[in-house]
Chain A
Amino acid sequence: MFSFVWYLSFTATRLDRLHHRVETSWANLDAALKTRSALALEIARSNLSDPATSMLLLAAAHVAIVAEQSERAEAEEELSRLLISLLEESALDEDEELFRELSLARERLRIAIALHLESVTRTQAQRGRFIVKLFRLAGRAPLPVRYPFEDIEV
């Protein structure tokens, strides 16, 4: 009996730790996304690209920055897709300082996404366990979710 109570408490602690990890990894991801939009906006305003490219960047970055939580995933995904197309068309000049910063930001974003995905997946797996559900060990912590944009290349 004692060992069972201990096990429950152990699992609850584990779960709590995981929830904290998800919060941290989301905060990191959120910051990385914001950096990317800010850089996209700066590039668009710097006249380093042709006007059509600048306009596309401005529109997508602006929408991503002002997006409400419910529209955020879609807006970030659109910005990701746009950046990929722009790079494919070599519409961004890789030698400029701002573009180097952007590619660094995208690199950091990729890492932030990987970390966040990992913590979300682990938490979801723990939350799905029978014992966790039965004894409501997760309390009222929201179930973390994966956003669609986390699955596409950035």
Chain B
Amino acid sequence: MTNRRKLRIGMVSPYGWDLPGGVQAHIRDLALYCMDQGHEVSVLAPAMDESDLESWVQSSGRPVSIPYNGAVARVAFGPVANRRVRKWIQEGNFDLLHLHEPAIPSLSLLACWAAEGPTVGTFHVSAPKQRAIYAVGPILEPAIEKLHARIAVSQTARATLVEHIATDAVVIPNGINHSAFAIGDRTSEFGSRTIGFIGRFEEPRKGLSLLIESCEQLILSNIEFTLVIAGPGDPDPFLASMSDALQSRTRFLGRISDDRKQQLLRSLTLYVAPNTGGESFGIILAEAMAAGAPVIASNIPAFSNVLDAGTAGMAGMLFESENCSSLTEKISMLLEDSSQRARLQGVGIEHAKRYDWSSVGESVIDIYQLVTSSGEKVRLGSELRFARAGRSE
């Protein structure tokens, strides 16, 4: 009965709404799903350009680039952001707040401090231990304590949380739109016996240079294939590093639209994810599986989890991370073995259904219902109380 209660949900994005990023994409999809289910959603996010936002998104001002933990974070903070957060909470009349990435100095942290009442936090990153984590404890701990439920998007994100702030979380993966990938046309325009790679290939941790090295090996073994690479970046340094034979078999598509990406994944003979680490989830693997592309991925923890490695129904193939001969062997084996490919395709499409929004979104809404069961509303805490709560540490 309570399961049908319609909720007013406030979501907070730490990163600029009009900048590309996995967290923002996840929040957008989740918000759309919740609205589809009849809930009301308002998203608060920093934005570069406030004039071009969806009607259900409110801007907290522009994001600022600042150094944090050895990297540059683009977040919003300061008195202006703080005032907008408080105003948004006060006027929102929310049943609950869903804060994304509340453990970094961001809008989500501000909202977490300002609000009283049902709150859910989602942790996206898996990061190496922060140098300053002990020092920021007095600010982080009271905030994390206030969350009624904590969600991690993957086992690795959960491990990060346990290690950094000694708190546990429910794992609910990122969602995909399964049918958009599974249903649609295939095309042969990318070539035959295609090996696909999608992502920001300039980042070394995405592992494109390893895949190129493997492809050179394939050419030496006289194996036919076409290498198709999609994603933003400058292909020239990679093309320059290739042999002529490989260059003639390689296509760089540049940045592609969602439709085109779905079509590409459906048309591939193989999808290869040679990432060397730094991945929290690996949503591209779920998308490739949904589209019916047999997957070969490095055996980093995030990917093993997505593919359900070690079980009988394992939905892809793993190779030893950063090992060129291991990758070459898997690619040549799978290219030659069409029955194995067909098997992986069938398992993959089925396996990827667990990442569809209909299942992922429902799990999130279950948590919403749980934390709002008391009927308590989100309200603004007094600033004075926060000051004291912080000081007692």
C-alpha gap A122/B386 in the complex (Å)? 52
Judge if B9 is at the interface, Cβ distance under 8 Å.
Answer: no
Main secondary structure of the interface of B (DSSP, over half): helix
Shortest beta-carbon distance, B309 to chain A, in Å?
Answer: 36
Q: Which of A45, A53, A81, A93 contacts B105 (CB 8 A)?
A: A53
User: In the assembled complex, which residues on chain B have CB atoms less than 8 Å from the CB atom of A51?
Assistant: 105, 109-110, 112-113, 139, 143, 386, 390
Q: Which of A50, A54, A82 contacts B66 (CB 8 A)?
A: A82
7 closest A-B pairs by beta carbon, nearest first, are: A62-B135, A91-B78, A59-B132, A52-B77, A89-B78, A55-B105, A50-B82
A56 touches B105 (CB 8 A): yes
Identity of the chain B residue whose Cβ is nearest the Cβ of A60 in the assembled complex: B67
Task: Kindly identify, within residues 20 to 48 of chain A, every residue whose CB is under 8 Å from any CB belonging to chain B.
Answer: 45, 47
A54 touches B139 (CB 8 A): yes
Task: Kindly identify, within residues 126 to 179 of chain B, every residue whose CB is under 8 Å from any CB belonging to chain A.
Answer: 130-132, 134-136, 138-140, 143
Supply 19 A–B pairs (Cβ within 8 Å), ascending by A.
Answer: A50-B79, A50-B113, A52-B76, A52-B81, A52-B106, A52-B109, A55-B140, A56-B68, A56-B105, A59-B131, A59-B136, A60-B132, A61-B135, A62-B135, A62-B136, A63-B132, A86-B78, A89-B64, A91-B79
Residues of A within 8 A of B (CB): 45, 47, 50-56, 58-63, 78, 81-82, 85-86, 88-91, 93
B67 touches A53 (CB 8 A): no
A58 touches B64 (CB 8 A): no
Interface range on chain B: under 10, 10 to 19, 20 to 34, or 35 or more?
A: 35 or more
C-alpha gap A47/B387 in the complex (Å)? 6
**When A and B form their complex, what is the total count of cross-chain residue pairs whose Cβ atoms lie within 8 Å?**
94
A52 touches B105 (CB 8 A): yes
C-alpha gap A61/B109 in the complex (Å)? 19
User: In the assembled complex, which residues on chain A have CB atoms less than 8 Å from the CB atom of B112?
Assistant: 51
Judge if B243 is at the interface, Cβ distance under 8 Å.
Answer: no
Judge if B93 is at the interface, Cβ distance under 8 Å.
Answer: no
Identity of the chain B residue whose Cβ is nearest the Cβ of A79 in the assembled complex: B67
User: In the assembled complex, which residues on chain B have CB atoms less than 8 Å from the CB atom of A60?
Assistant: 67-68, 132
C-alpha gap A88/B147 in the complex (Å)? 31
Which among A59, A78, A91 has the greatest number of chain B C-beta atoms within 10 A?
A59
User: In the assembled complex, which residues on chain A have CB atoms less than 8 Å from the CB atom of B78?
Assistant: 50, 52-53, 86, 89-91
User: In the assembled complex, which residues on chain B have CB atoms less than 8 Å from the CB atom of A53?
Assistant: 77-78, 105
Known contacts: A52-B110, A53-B78. The answer to whether A58 contacts B391 by CB under 8 A is no
User: In the assembled complex, which residues on chain B have CB atoms less than 8 Å from the CB atom of A63?
Assistant: 131-132, 135
A89 touches B135 (CB 8 A): no
Residues of B within 8 A of A (CB): 64-70, 75-82, 105-107, 109-110, 112-113, 130-132, 134-136, 138-140, 143, 386-387, 390-391
User: In the assembled complex, which residues on chain A have CB atoms less than 8 Å from the CB atom of B67?
Assistant: 60, 78, 81-82
User: In the assembled complex, which residues on chain B have CB atoms less than 8 Å from the CB atom of A85?
Assistant: 64-66
A59 touches B77 (CB 8 A): no
Identity of the chain A residue whose Cβ is nearest the Cβ of B143 in the assembled complex: A51
User: In the assembled complex, which residues on chain B have CB atoms less than 8 Å from the CB atom of A89?
Assistant: 64, 77-78, 80
C-alpha gap A66/B66 in the complex (Å)? 20
Identity of the chain A residue whose Cβ is nearest the Cβ of B140 in the assembled complex: A55
B68 touches A50 (CB 8 A): no
User: In the assembled complex, which residues on chain B have CB atoms less than 8 Å from the CB atom of A61?
Assistant: 135
Shortest beta-carbon distance, A95 to chain B, in Å?
Answer: 13
User: In the assembled complex, which residues on chain B have CB atoms less than 8 Å from the CB atom of A78?
Assistant: 67, 70
C-alpha gap A78/B69 in the complex (Å)? 9
B66 touches A81 (CB 8 A): yes
Shortest beta-carbon distance, A50 to chain B, in Å?
Answer: 4
A59 touches B81 (CB 8 A): no
User: In the assembled complex, which residues on chain B have CB atoms less than 8 Å from the CB atom of A62?
Assistant: 131-132, 134-136
User: In the assembled complex, which residues on chain A have CB atoms less than 8 Å from the CB atom of B135?
Assistant: 58-59, 61-63
C-alpha gap A59/B138 in the complex (Å)? 11
Shortest beta-carbon distance, A68 to chain B, in Å?
Answer: 11
Identity of the chain A residue whose Cβ is nearest the Cβ of B138 in the assembled complex: A45
Identity of the chain B residue whose Cβ is nearest the Cβ of A46 in the assembled complex: B391
C-alpha gap A89/B76 in the complex (Å)? 10
Shortest beta-carbon distance, A27 to chain B, in Å?
Answer: 26
Shortest beta-carbon distance, B165 to chain A, in Å?
Answer: 13
C-alpha gap A50/B383 in the complex (Å)? 10
B79 touches A90 (CB 8 A): yes
User: In the assembled complex, which residues on chain A have CB atoms less than 8 Å from the CB atom of B64?
Assistant: 85, 88-89
Shortest beta-carbon distance, A44 to chain B, in Å?
Answer: 8
